[in-house]
Structure 1
Amino acid sequence: MTLPGLLHYFPRKTDLLLAILEDRDRATNELIADAGPSWAANREGLRKLVRRNVQIPHIVQMFSTLNSESLGKCHPARDWFEARSHYVRDGIAAALRHAQDAGEFRKDFDPDVVATEVAATMDGLQVWWLRMPDRVDLIQQFDDYLDRLDRSLAV
């Protein structure tokens, strides 16, 4: 593709980066598409996602950088990241609520709060892993976190 052709479809660098992230999210959704409402299936989907992310550190770095940059009120990616944050939190919270309704988890916690914690833990661990890949085992630390979470929420 020529530069004028590229600029026709992606007039700003942010537009191109968001297209790459949207493609990554489509692939992510395919990883967890069969999860359904259960927490166990969603937890495994999150684990698969972390394993996949370890294989694409350059995309994870781009995501983390653009996510931070989009905190500015006028940033062109702000709306995309805000919508994505709600979508991710709502999906995790729904699976946690399902576990509560099924009697697997206690009812004395707010699934939205815990879902925010799960997403923030994943994002935060990814940043630490990018910074210190020789000292942070992203897969093991996220697996351990989910195991501790399950134990803390279990009936």
Structure 2
Amino acid sequence: MNYSLITDDLIFGPPPQEEDFFPLYTLGVGLIINPRMEYPPYLYPQDPPPLPTLWLPTIDSPHLPIPVSLLIKGVQVALSFIDDGRKAYIQGPPGDYRAAAMGAAILIAQGFPVNAAIKLIHLRHPGVDIDAWHLRHPILRFAEEWAKLNPIQ
């Protein structure tokens, strides 16, 4: 299976096939985040999938940036698994901005500065133009909303 290890607890890769679930489990993956509208969970080779799956259906288009509300939901669920010592696996082909936006949002929620999160995604998951407006804008909006929801005490 071809995947990109972004951090110790965040992985990007293609939609898992039946033979991929056990290797993902042995890697420590506890959650699969699927932001692809065109790949609903019922298309997985096993129903239900053997790992918990969060489907956040969005369209990969520069005309429809990923909604910040979906980034927040994805981050909240991902952090609950990460805080329990499991990894989050975000499925999406190389160049898919939805996976990149979700990954950047998770990193920001973990304390990465916005530009550091964007740079890390760019370095570890090449092929996506993370500086494109339709990608960067929702990430910046997420960072603002997340800071409001989680003020530093």
TM over 0.5: no
Q: Give the number of the structure with larger relative contact order, counting CA–CA contacts within 8 Å between residues 6 or more apart.
A: 2
Q: Which has the higher strand share?
A: 2
TM-score, normalised on structure 1?
0.28
Kindly name which structure, 1 or 2, has the bigger radius of gyration based on alpha carbons.
1
Could you tell me the TM-score, scaled by structure 2's length? Answer: 0.28
